[in-house]
Amino acid sequence: MLDKYGNDNSEYSKNIIEEIKKTSPKVAGFIEKEYSRQKNNVELIASENYCSEAVMAACGSCLSWKYAEGYPGMPIDRHSGNRGRYYGGMKYVDELEEYCCDLWREVFNTDYHVNVQPHSGSQANFAAYRAVLKPGDKVLAMSLDDGGHLTHGSSVNFSGTLYDIHFYGVDEKGYIDIEDLKKKADEIKPKLILAGASAYSRTIDFKLFSEVAKSVGAYFMVDMAHIAGLVAAGEHISPFGYADLITTTTHKTLRGPRGGMIFSTKELAKKVDSAVFPYSQGGPLEHIIAGKAVCAEEALTDEYKTYIKQVVKNSKAFCDEFKKMGYSVVTGGTDNHLFLLDLSSHEFTGKDLQDRCDEDGITLNKNCVPNEKRSPVQTSGVRIGTAPMTTRGFMEDDFIEVAHRIDEIVKKLDTEKSSQK
């Protein structure tokens, strides 16, 4: 694992690169350059993290050789109506997959059915929608500009083309507008109401969303991809017990491999499983499922809970430092692992700052802000997250130092734009 200075305290990654070099020096070169970038940069992308060597090793194991279409035939997980596999030699991958499912129920202290086969968060959302919706059904979700995700109804995404999407918004302070949610739910009568975001820095009241969904007879779905780690560690309200469907990735605050999962009530288990396989996926990636199982074991430790608490502390300290320097922060602060800087008053764009930070060894991403006036390609904001560098050992003072580094970059951009007038 890398420390906060980018030092590698193990030989794992070095050995992997050397092994690849024996067959493909070219590919090894690309990996080596990216590894160097990740070691030397300050990584602030809120949807990224560093996973453990154990997770990486599981993902590179012999399980990548095994086809496993279908679901485990052993009657451990009785929530699913789909039984059996389409190939032989399944004894050990069956045991692994069911162990993985059991672990994730333990992580989130739930008896929900869980499907660990989705290859990504987008795949998980695609299948979750399919489980309860037909093309053309109405969905009420948070818009991309206000903090939602591409798969929450964007017109360029499958969600926006397959379903009749309507959006609730945020108020003038950037908080979810509950009155707007209630009004639109009553007017539209959606089949599904979706909560969850990719760029929202405040706590989401899942109980309230559930009540609104029940009042109009809608299914309630939560995409907790960004906050799943916080939910697991008790740092965010849990959606379990409120939502009919819950999707997540495993590679953000959960600090696992790139992949997705779907949780559902037992009544929807068979529909969810069928929507994953055979409807939208073929063989699951059992080597990634192994990584997900290792990740779940790690999420059950006290060390992980301590880590998540520090992620939140770091985020607040980082955000507060920007506010002290006079920056506009969407919602005025943060309750989780991320926050948005609103650069609308500056002549430069979010992309400008992203690119210039790249040059200075700081990785963050451009992001739309509420009432966005610029295009999604340029944007008027940037999204900043603390999960990756907290994994590397950053504490509050380290993030405060980075805030001042970014401030220097902003000042240079302002000066450059002023001189061009």
Specify whether the CB–CB gap between 198 and 226 falls below 8 A.
Answer: yes
* Candidates 12, 48, 53, 67; catalytic one: 67
* Candidates 32, 69, 297, 360; catalytic one: 69
Active site (annotated) includes residue 408: no
Specify whether the CB–CB gap between 384 and 44 falls below 8 A.
Answer: yes
* Candidates 151, 247, 248, 249; catalytic one: 249
Active site (annotated) includes residue 252: yes
Specify whether the CB–CB gap between 323 and 283 falls below 8 A.
Answer: no
* Candidates 77, 146, 223, 335; catalytic one: 223
Collapsing DSSP states into helix, strand and coil, what is residue 248?
strand
- The sheet with strand 328-329 has its strands ordered as 328-329, 338-342, 381-385, 365-367
Task: List beta partners, residue 385.
Answer: 338
Active site (annotated) includes residue 105: no
Residue 75, both tokens:
């009657």
Amino acid identity, position 53: E
DSSP 315: H
Active site (annotated) includes residue 66: no
Active site (annotated) includes residue 67: yes
Where do we find the tokens 């320097």?
325
Active site (annotated) includes residue 182: no
* Candidates 130, 184, 202, 252; catalytic one: 252
DSSP 278: I
* Candidates 138, 258, 305, 313; catalytic one: 258
Please report how the helices 396-419 and 302-324 are oriented relative to each other, as an axis angle in degrees rounded to 10. Answer: 40
Please report how the helices 25-40 and 12-23 are oriented relative to each other, as an axis angle in degrees rounded to 10. Answer: 160
- Write out the catalytic residue numbers: 67, 69, 223, 249, 252, 258
